[in-house]
Amino acid sequence: MLDPVRVAKDFPILSKGDLTYLDSAATTQKPVQVVDAIEDYYYSCNSNVHRGIYRISEEATERYEKARENISQFVGSRDPAGTVFVRNTTEAINLLSYTLGRQLKAGDEIVLSVMEHHSNMVPWQFLREKGVVIRYADIDSEGRLDPEDLKSKIGRKTRIVSLTHVSNVLGTVNPVSELAKMAHEASSLFIVDGAQSVPHMPLDVKSIDCDFMAFSGHKMLGPAGIGVLYGKPELLMRLPPFMGGGDMIREVRLDGATWNDLPYKFEAGTPNIEGAIGLSAAVDYLRNLGMDNVRRHEMELMDYVMKRAGEIEDLTYYGPRDPKVHGGVFSFNIGQIPAFDLESELNSRHLKISSQELHPHDISSYLDQSGIAVRAGHHCAMPLMTRLGVQATSRASFYVYNSRDDADKLFIALENAKKAFAR
Ligand SMILES: Cc1ncc(COP(=O)(O)O)c(C=O)c1O
Protein backbone atom coordinates (compact mmCIF):
# COMPACT_ATOMS: atom_id res chain seq x y z
CA MET A 1 0.00 0.00 0.00
CA LEU A 2 1.09 3.54 -0.70
CA ASP A 3 1.08 5.99 2.20
CA PRO A 4 0.81 9.49 0.70
CA VAL A 5 1.68 11.21 3.99
CA ARG A 6 4.90 9.23 4.18
CA VAL A 7 5.60 9.90 0.47
CA ALA A 8 5.06 13.66 0.90
CA LYS A 9 7.94 13.72 3.41
CA ASP A 10 10.35 13.15 0.50
CA PHE A 11 9.20 16.40 -1.12
CA PRO A 12 10.71 19.42 0.62
CA ILE A 13 8.21 21.86 -0.96
CA LEU A 14 5.33 19.85 0.55
CA SER A 15 6.81 19.20 3.96
CA LYS A 16 6.56 22.87 4.98
CA GLY A 17 2.84 22.18 5.43
CA ASP A 18 1.46 25.37 3.83
CA LEU A 19 0.80 24.01 0.33
CA THR A 20 -1.91 21.67 -0.91
CA TYR A 21 -0.59 20.92 -4.36
CA LEU A 22 -3.33 19.73 -6.73
CA ASP A 23 -1.76 20.55 -10.08
CA SER A 24 0.37 17.49 -10.81
CA ALA A 25 -1.19 17.01 -14.23
CA ALA A 26 0.58 20.26 -15.17
CA THR A 27 3.84 19.30 -13.49
CA THR A 28 4.73 17.24 -10.44
CA GLN A 29 6.83 18.13 -7.42
CA LYS A 30 10.30 16.58 -7.12
CA PRO A 31 11.54 14.31 -4.34
CA VAL A 32 14.98 14.80 -2.75
CA GLN A 33 16.17 11.61 -4.45
CA VAL A 34 15.79 13.27 -7.87
CA VAL A 35 17.39 16.54 -6.79
CA ASP A 36 20.27 14.58 -5.20
CA ALA A 37 20.92 12.58 -8.38
CA ILE A 38 21.17 15.78 -10.42
CA GLU A 39 23.36 17.47 -7.82
CA ASP A 40 25.64 14.45 -7.66
CA TYR A 41 26.12 14.53 -11.43
CA TYR A 42 27.02 18.24 -11.33
CA TYR A 43 29.41 17.83 -8.43
CA SER A 44 31.12 14.61 -9.50
CA CYS A 45 31.21 14.23 -13.30
CA ASN A 46 29.68 17.21 -15.11
CA SER A 47 30.99 17.04 -18.70
CA ASN A 48 29.74 16.36 -22.20
CA VAL A 49 28.77 12.84 -23.29
CA HIS A 50 29.84 10.60 -26.19
CA ARG A 51 32.97 12.60 -26.99
CA GLY A 52 35.44 13.11 -24.15
CA ILE A 53 38.25 10.55 -23.83
CA TYR A 54 38.73 11.27 -20.16
CA ARG A 55 37.40 9.91 -16.91
CA ILE A 56 34.54 12.24 -16.00
CA SER A 57 33.19 12.32 -19.56
CA GLU A 58 33.15 8.53 -19.61
CA GLU A 59 31.36 8.57 -16.26
CA ALA A 60 28.79 11.09 -17.55
CA THR A 61 28.22 8.98 -20.68
CA GLU A 62 27.74 5.89 -18.57
CA ARG A 63 25.17 7.60 -16.33
CA TYR A 64 23.33 9.04 -19.35
CA GLU A 65 23.14 5.66 -21.13
CA LYS A 66 22.21 3.81 -17.92
CA ALA A 67 19.37 6.31 -17.53
CA ARG A 68 18.18 5.42 -21.02
CA GLU A 69 18.22 1.68 -20.21
CA ASN A 70 16.39 2.23 -16.93
CA ILE A 71 13.67 4.39 -18.48
CA SER A 72 13.27 1.94 -21.40
CA GLN A 73 12.71 -0.92 -18.98
CA PHE A 74 10.22 1.15 -16.99
CA VAL A 75 7.87 1.27 -19.99
CA GLY A 76 8.57 -2.32 -21.05
CA SER A 77 10.88 -1.61 -23.96
CA ARG A 78 13.64 -4.23 -24.19
CA ASP A 79 15.80 -2.27 -26.62
CA PRO A 80 17.15 1.13 -25.45
CA ALA A 81 17.69 2.04 -29.13
CA GLY A 82 13.94 2.71 -29.21
CA THR A 83 14.15 5.30 -26.43
CA VAL A 84 14.92 8.74 -27.84
CA PHE A 85 15.48 11.58 -25.39
CA VAL A 86 13.59 14.72 -26.32
CA ARG A 87 12.50 17.78 -24.34
CA ASN A 88 8.92 16.69 -23.64
CA THR A 89 5.78 15.08 -25.08
CA THR A 90 5.27 18.09 -27.32
CA GLU A 91 8.68 17.70 -28.93
CA ALA A 92 8.21 13.95 -29.35
CA ILE A 93 4.95 14.45 -31.26
CA ASN A 94 6.45 17.24 -33.35
CA LEU A 95 9.32 14.90 -34.21
CA LEU A 96 6.78 12.35 -35.41
CA SER A 97 4.64 14.80 -37.35
CA TYR A 98 7.76 16.15 -39.10
CA THR A 99 9.38 12.82 -39.93
CA LEU A 100 6.26 10.76 -40.64
CA GLY A 101 4.69 13.76 -42.33
CA ARG A 102 7.47 13.85 -44.93
CA GLN A 103 6.31 10.41 -46.05
CA LEU A 104 2.60 11.32 -46.34
CA LYS A 105 0.85 12.60 -49.43
CA ALA A 106 -2.31 14.57 -50.22
CA GLY A 107 -5.44 12.62 -49.30
CA ASP A 108 -3.74 10.53 -46.59
CA GLU A 109 -5.67 10.64 -43.31
CA ILE A 110 -4.72 11.02 -39.67
CA VAL A 111 -7.22 10.11 -36.95
CA LEU A 112 -7.17 11.95 -33.62
CA SER A 113 -9.90 12.53 -31.02
CA VAL A 114 -11.62 15.64 -29.70
CA MET A 115 -10.10 15.02 -26.26
CA GLU A 116 -6.49 15.51 -27.41
CA HIS A 117 -4.13 18.02 -25.82
CA HIS A 118 -3.04 20.71 -28.30
CA SER A 119 0.33 18.99 -28.53
CA ASN A 120 -1.33 15.96 -30.14
CA MET A 121 -3.38 18.13 -32.46
CA VAL A 122 -1.49 21.18 -33.70
CA PRO A 123 1.63 19.30 -34.96
CA TRP A 124 -0.63 17.11 -37.12
CA GLN A 125 -2.61 20.12 -38.34
CA PHE A 126 0.65 21.46 -39.84
CA LEU A 127 0.35 18.64 -42.39
CA ARG A 128 -2.88 20.06 -43.79
CA GLU A 129 -0.78 22.29 -46.02
CA LYS A 130 0.28 19.21 -47.98
CA GLY A 131 -3.31 17.99 -48.30
CA VAL A 132 -3.34 15.54 -45.39
CA VAL A 133 -6.83 15.17 -43.89
CA ILE A 134 -7.36 15.12 -40.11
CA ARG A 135 -10.40 13.28 -38.72
CA TYR A 136 -11.53 13.50 -35.12
CA ALA A 137 -13.22 10.75 -33.12
CA ASP A 138 -15.94 11.97 -30.76
CA ILE A 139 -16.65 11.24 -27.09
CA ASP A 140 -19.81 10.03 -25.38
CA SER A 141 -21.77 11.80 -22.64
CA GLU A 142 -19.35 10.56 -19.93
CA GLY A 143 -16.31 11.71 -21.85
CA ARG A 144 -15.22 8.28 -23.07
CA LEU A 145 -13.99 7.77 -26.60
CA ASP A 146 -16.93 6.67 -28.72
CA PRO A 147 -15.68 3.36 -30.22
CA GLU A 148 -18.27 3.33 -33.02
CA ASP A 149 -17.42 6.85 -34.06
CA LEU A 150 -13.70 6.02 -33.95
CA LYS A 151 -14.28 2.94 -36.10
CA SER A 152 -16.16 5.04 -38.62
CA LYS A 153 -13.26 7.52 -38.83
CA ILE A 154 -10.59 4.87 -39.47
CA GLY A 155 -10.57 3.73 -43.07
CA ARG A 156 -8.58 2.82 -46.15
CA LYS A 157 -6.75 6.14 -46.24
CA THR A 158 -5.80 6.22 -42.55
CA ARG A 159 -2.03 6.27 -42.13
CA ILE A 160 -1.75 7.36 -38.51
CA VAL A 161 -4.00 7.04 -35.46
CA SER A 162 -2.67 9.17 -32.59
CA LEU A 163 -4.58 9.17 -29.30
CA THR A 164 -4.05 10.08 -25.70
CA HIS A 165 -3.88 7.25 -23.18
CA VAL A 166 -5.35 9.41 -20.39
CA SER A 167 -7.15 12.72 -20.98
CA ASN A 168 -5.64 15.63 -19.04
CA VAL A 169 -9.13 17.15 -18.68
CA LEU A 170 -11.64 14.29 -18.49
CA GLY A 171 -9.35 11.81 -16.80
CA THR A 172 -10.64 9.19 -19.24
CA VAL A 173 -8.36 6.16 -19.49
CA ASN A 174 -8.55 4.96 -23.07
CA PRO A 175 -8.25 1.21 -23.87
CA VAL A 176 -5.02 1.66 -25.83
CA SER A 177 -4.39 -2.04 -26.59
CA GLU A 178 -7.80 -2.29 -28.27
CA LEU A 179 -7.19 0.97 -30.09
CA ALA A 180 -3.80 -0.29 -31.32
CA LYS A 181 -5.54 -3.36 -32.72
CA MET A 182 -8.12 -1.23 -34.45
CA ALA A 183 -5.43 0.95 -36.03
CA HIS A 184 -3.26 -1.98 -37.08
CA GLU A 185 -6.20 -3.81 -38.66
CA ALA A 186 -6.48 -0.79 -40.95
CA SER A 187 -2.69 -0.98 -41.62
CA SER A 188 -2.24 2.34 -39.81
CA LEU A 189 0.46 3.34 -37.35
CA PHE A 190 -0.67 3.78 -33.76
CA ILE A 191 0.79 6.52 -31.55
CA VAL A 192 0.06 6.96 -27.84
CA ASP A 193 0.32 10.25 -25.99
CA GLY A 194 1.45 8.84 -22.65
CA ALA A 195 1.95 12.20 -20.87
CA GLN A 196 -0.78 11.42 -18.32
CA SER A 197 -0.45 7.63 -18.19
CA VAL A 198 3.24 6.73 -17.89
CA PRO A 199 3.47 8.61 -14.54
CA HIS A 200 0.32 7.01 -13.14
CA MET A 201 -0.01 3.33 -14.02
CA PRO A 202 1.93 0.17 -14.84
CA LEU A 203 2.37 0.16 -18.57
CA ASP A 204 4.15 -1.93 -21.18
CA VAL A 205 4.68 -0.67 -24.71
CA LYS A 206 5.08 -4.24 -25.97
CA SER A 207 1.73 -5.43 -24.68
CA ILE A 208 -0.03 -2.25 -25.80
CA ASP A 209 1.65 -2.82 -29.16
CA CYS A 210 1.90 0.90 -29.91
CA ASP A 211 4.30 1.95 -32.63
CA PHE A 212 5.32 5.13 -30.82
CA MET A 213 4.67 6.62 -27.40
CA ALA A 214 5.51 10.08 -26.04
CA PHE A 215 5.88 11.18 -22.41
CA SER A 216 7.38 13.95 -20.26
CA GLY A 217 9.77 13.66 -17.31
CA HIS A 218 8.40 16.65 -15.41
CA LYS A 219 4.98 14.98 -15.03
CA MET A 220 6.51 11.93 -13.32
CA LEU A 221 8.64 13.47 -10.55
CA GLY A 222 11.56 14.18 -12.91
CA PRO A 223 13.01 17.50 -14.06
CA ALA A 224 11.58 19.67 -16.83
CA GLY A 225 13.24 19.69 -20.24
CA ILE A 226 13.53 15.90 -20.58
CA GLY A 227 11.01 13.60 -22.19
CA VAL A 228 10.93 10.44 -24.23
CA LEU A 229 9.85 9.31 -27.62
CA TYR A 230 9.58 5.52 -27.57
CA GLY A 231 9.43 3.92 -31.00
CA LYS A 232 9.70 0.42 -32.38
CA PRO A 233 13.33 0.45 -33.52
CA GLU A 234 12.48 -1.01 -36.96
CA LEU A 235 10.12 1.93 -37.53
CA LEU A 236 12.44 4.60 -36.13
CA MET A 237 15.15 3.24 -38.42
CA ARG A 238 13.04 4.04 -41.47
CA LEU A 239 12.33 7.64 -40.48
CA PRO A 240 14.45 10.56 -41.67
CA PRO A 241 16.21 12.62 -38.97
CA PHE A 242 14.36 15.47 -37.26
CA MET A 243 17.08 18.01 -36.42
CA GLY A 244 20.56 18.16 -37.90
CA GLY A 245 23.81 18.86 -36.05
CA GLY A 246 26.38 17.19 -33.83
CA ASP A 247 26.00 13.59 -32.57
CA MET A 248 23.24 12.63 -35.05
CA ILE A 249 25.67 12.03 -37.93
CA ARG A 250 28.00 9.21 -38.90
CA GLU A 251 29.94 11.16 -41.50
CA VAL A 252 29.69 14.67 -42.92
CA ARG A 253 31.07 15.73 -46.30
CA LEU A 254 30.73 19.08 -48.04
CA ASP A 255 28.06 17.56 -50.26
CA GLY A 256 26.01 15.74 -47.62
CA ALA A 257 25.98 13.51 -44.57
CA THR A 258 25.01 10.06 -43.31
CA TRP A 259 23.18 9.35 -40.07
CA ASN A 260 24.24 7.84 -36.77
CA ASP A 261 22.65 4.68 -35.33
CA LEU A 262 19.50 4.76 -33.23
CA PRO A 263 18.69 6.52 -31.02
CA TYR A 264 21.43 9.11 -31.67
CA LYS A 265 20.09 9.85 -35.15
CA PHE A 266 17.32 11.76 -33.37
CA GLU A 267 19.43 13.40 -30.64
CA ALA A 268 21.18 16.29 -32.38
CA GLY A 269 23.41 18.50 -30.23
CA THR A 270 24.36 18.23 -26.57
CA PRO A 271 21.50 16.43 -24.82
CA ASN A 272 19.93 17.18 -21.45
CA ILE A 273 22.32 14.90 -19.56
CA GLU A 274 21.31 15.95 -16.06
CA GLY A 275 17.66 15.74 -17.13
CA ALA A 276 18.03 12.10 -18.18
CA ILE A 277 19.87 11.27 -14.93
CA GLY A 278 17.15 13.03 -12.90
CA LEU A 279 14.39 11.23 -14.78
CA SER A 280 16.09 7.91 -14.15
CA ALA A 281 16.10 8.68 -10.41
CA ALA A 282 12.38 9.54 -10.67
CA VAL A 283 11.75 6.18 -12.36
CA ASP A 284 13.62 4.44 -9.49
CA TYR A 285 11.45 6.32 -7.02
CA LEU A 286 8.21 5.32 -8.75
CA ARG A 287 9.35 1.72 -9.16
CA ASN A 288 10.08 1.63 -5.48
CA LEU A 289 6.54 2.77 -4.69
CA GLY A 290 5.25 0.16 -7.17
CA MET A 291 3.21 1.33 -10.15
CA ASP A 292 0.33 -0.97 -9.13
CA ASN A 293 0.23 0.85 -5.81
CA VAL A 294 0.41 4.24 -7.54
CA ARG A 295 -2.62 3.40 -9.67
CA ARG A 296 -4.57 1.80 -6.81
CA HIS A 297 -3.98 4.86 -4.63
CA GLU A 298 -5.18 7.12 -7.43
CA MET A 299 -8.34 5.06 -8.03
CA GLU A 300 -9.23 5.05 -4.32
CA LEU A 301 -8.65 8.77 -4.08
CA MET A 302 -10.75 9.51 -7.18
CA ASP A 303 -13.55 7.33 -5.83
CA TYR A 304 -13.52 9.47 -2.69
CA VAL A 305 -13.24 12.74 -4.65
CA MET A 306 -16.22 11.87 -6.84
CA LYS A 307 -18.31 10.98 -3.78
CA ARG A 308 -17.41 14.27 -2.09
CA ALA A 309 -18.15 16.14 -5.33
CA GLY A 310 -21.67 14.70 -5.33
CA GLU A 311 -22.31 16.47 -2.01
CA ILE A 312 -21.72 19.93 -3.47
CA GLU A 313 -24.75 21.53 -5.05
CA ASP A 314 -24.23 23.03 -8.50
CA LEU A 315 -20.90 21.26 -9.04
CA THR A 316 -20.54 19.58 -12.42
CA TYR A 317 -17.56 17.39 -13.09
CA TYR A 318 -16.40 15.86 -16.33
CA GLY A 319 -15.22 12.42 -17.34
CA PRO A 320 -16.12 8.82 -16.49
CA ARG A 321 -17.79 8.11 -13.13
CA ASP A 322 -16.02 4.77 -12.80
CA PRO A 323 -12.62 5.30 -11.12
CA LYS A 324 -11.27 2.23 -12.97
CA VAL A 325 -11.32 4.26 -16.19
CA HIS A 326 -10.62 7.64 -14.62
CA GLY A 327 -7.09 8.94 -13.97
CA GLY A 328 -6.09 11.37 -11.24
CA VAL A 329 -7.56 14.53 -12.76
CA PHE A 330 -10.80 16.06 -11.57
CA SER A 331 -12.17 18.83 -13.81
CA PHE A 332 -15.22 20.72 -12.67
CA ASN A 333 -17.33 23.83 -12.84
CA ILE A 334 -19.58 25.38 -10.25
CA GLY A 335 -22.83 27.10 -11.12
CA GLN A 336 -25.25 26.91 -13.99
CA ILE A 337 -23.29 25.02 -16.54
CA PRO A 338 -24.59 24.81 -20.09
CA ALA A 339 -25.87 21.31 -20.80
CA PHE A 340 -23.46 18.88 -22.40
CA ASP A 341 -24.22 19.41 -26.07
CA LEU A 342 -24.12 16.17 -27.99
CA GLU A 343 -25.63 17.66 -31.09
CA SER A 344 -23.75 20.61 -32.31
CA GLU A 345 -20.27 21.93 -31.88
CA LEU A 346 -21.47 25.15 -33.46
CA ASN A 347 -24.15 25.72 -30.82
CA SER A 348 -21.81 24.98 -27.98
CA ARG A 349 -19.27 27.45 -29.34
CA HIS A 350 -21.69 30.25 -28.49
CA LEU A 351 -22.36 29.10 -24.95
CA LYS A 352 -20.68 31.40 -22.48
CA ILE A 353 -20.18 30.94 -18.78
CA SER A 354 -23.22 32.64 -17.22
CA SER A 355 -23.01 35.27 -14.51
CA GLN A 356 -24.34 32.84 -11.86
CA GLU A 357 -21.31 30.66 -12.26
CA LEU A 358 -18.06 30.89 -10.39
CA HIS A 359 -15.46 31.45 -13.03
CA PRO A 360 -12.63 28.89 -12.82
CA HIS A 361 -10.10 31.72 -12.48
CA ASP A 362 -12.01 33.10 -9.46
CA ILE A 363 -12.14 29.61 -7.94
CA SER A 364 -8.42 29.15 -8.45
CA SER A 365 -7.56 32.54 -6.91
CA TYR A 366 -9.87 31.87 -3.97
CA LEU A 367 -8.35 28.44 -3.33
CA ASP A 368 -4.87 29.93 -3.55
CA GLN A 369 -5.69 32.04 -0.47
CA SER A 370 -6.01 28.74 1.43
CA GLY A 371 -2.75 27.44 -0.03
CA ILE A 372 -4.51 25.14 -2.50
CA ALA A 373 -3.02 25.07 -6.01
CA VAL A 374 -5.38 24.01 -8.81
CA ARG A 375 -5.39 24.80 -12.51
CA ALA A 376 -8.02 26.93 -14.26
CA GLY A 377 -8.51 27.49 -17.96
CA HIS A 378 -8.76 25.45 -21.14
CA HIS A 379 -5.92 23.08 -20.20
CA CYS A 380 -4.48 23.21 -23.74
CA ALA A 381 -7.59 21.44 -24.97
CA MET A 382 -9.68 24.21 -26.53
CA PRO A 383 -11.58 21.93 -28.95
CA LEU A 384 -12.56 19.76 -25.98
CA MET A 385 -13.84 22.81 -24.08
CA THR A 386 -15.96 23.63 -27.11
CA ARG A 387 -17.18 20.06 -27.22
CA LEU A 388 -18.15 20.22 -23.53
CA GLY A 389 -19.90 23.52 -24.09
CA VAL A 390 -17.75 25.52 -21.67
CA GLN A 391 -14.98 28.07 -22.00
CA ALA A 392 -12.93 26.73 -19.13
CA THR A 393 -12.90 24.40 -16.14
CA SER A 394 -11.14 24.20 -12.82
CA ARG A 395 -8.94 21.14 -12.51
CA ALA A 396 -7.60 19.49 -9.38
CA SER A 397 -5.10 16.76 -10.14
CA PHE A 398 -3.88 14.21 -7.63
CA TYR A 399 -0.68 12.20 -7.34
CA VAL A 400 1.32 9.99 -5.02
CA TYR A 401 1.77 12.65 -2.32
CA ASN A 402 -1.94 13.60 -2.12
CA SER A 403 -4.27 12.16 0.49
CA ARG A 404 -7.98 12.28 1.34
CA ASP A 405 -7.04 15.12 3.62
CA ASP A 406 -6.07 17.19 0.55
CA ALA A 407 -9.40 16.34 -1.08
CA ASP A 408 -11.24 17.40 2.10
CA LYS A 409 -9.37 20.71 2.12
CA LEU A 410 -10.40 21.26 -1.50
CA PHE A 411 -14.08 20.60 -0.90
CA ILE A 412 -14.26 22.68 2.30
CA ALA A 413 -12.63 25.58 0.44
CA LEU A 414 -15.06 25.15 -2.48
CA GLU A 415 -18.05 25.37 -0.12
CA ASN A 416 -16.53 28.53 1.36
CA ALA A 417 -15.92 29.94 -2.13
CA LYS A 418 -19.57 29.44 -2.98
CA LYS A 419 -20.61 31.34 0.13
CA ALA A 420 -18.06 34.12 -0.43
CA PHE A 421 -19.08 34.69 -4.04
CA ALA A 422 -22.82 34.50 -3.25
CA ARG A 423 -22.57 37.64 -1.15
C1 LIG B 1 -2.28 14.55 -22.34
C2 LIG B 1 -1.14 15.52 -22.52
N3 LIG B 1 -0.42 15.45 -23.65
C4 LIG B 1 0.62 16.26 -23.87
C5 LIG B 1 1.00 17.21 -22.95
C6 LIG B 1 2.16 18.09 -23.24
O7 LIG B 1 3.19 17.86 -22.34
P8 LIG B 1 4.49 18.76 -22.35
O9 LIG B 1 4.01 20.16 -22.09
O10 LIG B 1 5.31 18.22 -21.25
O11 LIG B 1 5.09 18.63 -23.68
C12 LIG B 1 0.27 17.33 -21.77
C13 LIG B 1 0.62 18.36 -20.78
O14 LIG B 1 -0.16 18.77 -19.98
C15 LIG B 1 -0.81 16.44 -21.55
O16 LIG B 1 -1.51 16.50 -20.41
CATH number at residue 72: 3.40.640.10
pLDDT in tens, 317-329: 999 999 999 999 9
Residue 245: other Cβ atoms inside 10 A: 11
Strand 212-216 with 227-231, pairing: antiparallel
User: Is 28 part of any domain?
Assistant: no
Domain boundary among 287, 303, 329: 287
Looking at the predicted structure, is the pLDDT value of residue 353 above 90? no
Is the CB–ligand 1 distance for residue 193 below 6 Å? yes
- Phi, psi for 372 (deg, rounded to 5): -105, 120
Mean pLDDT computed over 270-298: 98
Q: 42: CA distance to ligand 1 center in Å?
A: 28
**Per-residue burial over 253-284, b = 16 or more CB atoms within 10 Å of its CB, e = otherwise:** eeeeeebbebbbbbbbeebbbbbbbbbbbbbe
Q: What is the extent of the structural domain holding 414?
A: 4-22+290-422
User: Is 27 part of any domain?
Assistant: no
Q: Say whether both 258 and 374 belong to one domain.
A: no
* pLDDT interval class at 337 (50, 70, 90): low
Domain boundary among 248, 263, 287: 287
Q: What gap in Å lies between CA 304 and CA 1, rounded to an integer?
A: 17
Is the CB–ligand 1 distance for residue 196 below 6 Å? yes
Tell me what pLDDT residue 344 has. Answer: 45
Type of residue found at 359: H
Q: Which atom of ligand 1 is nearest to the CA of 165?
A: 1
Q: Say whether both 364 and 318 belong to one domain.
A: yes
Q: Which atom of ligand 1 is nearest to the CA of 224?
A: 10
Q: Say whether both 157 and 232 belong to one domain.
A: yes
Tell me what pLDDT residue 421 has. Answer: 87
Name the more confident of 348 and 164.
164
Q: Say whether both 208 and 316 belong to one domain.
A: no
Looking at the predicted structure, is the pLDDT value of residue 350 above 50? no
Furthest-apart CA atoms within the chain: distance in Å: 73
Q: Say whether both 232 and 187 belong to one domain.
A: yes
Q: What gap in Å lies between CA 185 and CA 181, rounded to an integer?
A: 6
Looking at every residue in the chain, the average pLDDT score rounds to 94
pLDDT in tens, 359-403: 999 999 999 999 999 999 999 999 999 999 999 999 999 999 999
Surface-to-core class of residue 288, CB atoms within 10 Å of its CB (0-12 exposed, 13-18 middle, 19+ buried): exposed
Looking at the predicted structure, is the pLDDT value of residue 343 above 50? no
Name the more confident of 216 and 358.
216
Residue 19 DSSP symbol = -
Q: Is 380 a catalytic residue?
A: yes
* pLDDT interval class at 357 (50, 70, 90): confident
Among 23, 90, 97, 118, say which to mutate for ligand 1: greatest number of ligand atoms within 8 Å of CB.
Answer: 90
**Residues whose CB is less than 8 angstroms from the CB of residue 398 and which lie 6 or more positions away in sequence, other chains included:** 22, 24, 298, 301, 302, 305, 328, 329, 330, 406, 407
Is the CB–ligand 1 distance for residue 89 below 6 Å? yes
DSSP one-letter string for 82-126: GEEEESSHHHHHHHHHHHHHTT--TT-EEEEETT--GGGTHHHHG
Tell me what pLDDT residue 107 has. Answer: 98
Q: Say whether both 208 and 331 belong to one domain.
A: no
Looking at the predicted structure, is the pLDDT value of residue 105 above 50? yes
Q: What is the pTM of this model?
A: 0.95
Q: Say whether both 304 and 202 belong to one domain.
A: no
Tell me what pLDDT residue 347 has. Answer: 44
CB 168 within 8 A of CB 142: no
Q: 55: CA distance to ligand 1 center in Å?
A: 37
Looking at the predicted structure, is the pLDDT value of residue 92 above 90? yes
Q: Which atom of ligand 1 is nearest to the CA of 380?
A: 14
Tell me what pLDDT residue 354 has. Answer: 45
Q: What gap in Å lies between CA 100 and CA 5, rounded to an integer?
A: 45
User: Is 136 part of any domain?
Assistant: yes
Domain boundary among 265, 287, 309: 287
Looking at the predicted structure, is the pLDDT value of residue 336 above 70? no
Distances 87 to 177, 229, 270 between C-alpha atoms, Å: 26, 9, 12
CB 97 within 8 A of CB 116: no
Tell me what pLDDT residue 422 has. Answer: 81
Nearest alpha carbon, ligand 1 atom 12: 195
Mean pLDDT computed over 258-273: 98
Is the CB–ligand 1 distance for residue 164 below 6 Å? yes
Mean pLDDT computed over 80-92: 98
Q: Say whether both 264 and 367 belong to one domain.
A: no
Q: 215: CA distance to ligand 1 center in Å?
A: 8
Is the CB–ligand 1 distance for residue 113 below 6 Å? no
Q: Say whether both 174 and 304 belong to one domain.
A: no
Catalytic residue among 104, 133, 257, 380: 380
User: Is 334 part of any domain?
Assistant: yes
Report the CATH number at residue 348: 3.90.1150.10
Laid out side by side, the sheet with 83-86 consists of 83-86, 227-231, 212-216, 189-193, 158-164, 109-113, 133-137
The residues that bridge with 83 in the sheet, in sequence order, are 230
Q: How many residues does the chain have?
A: 423
- Indicate the number of domains in the chain: 2
Mean pLDDT computed over 177-193: 98
Looking at the predicted structure, is the pLDDT value of residue 125 above 60? yes
DSSP one-letter string for 246-286: TTSEEEEETTEEEEPSTTGGG--SS--HHHHHHHHHHHHHH
Q: Say whether both 37 and 79 belong to one domain.
A: yes
Q: Say whether both 122 and 259 belong to one domain.
A: yes
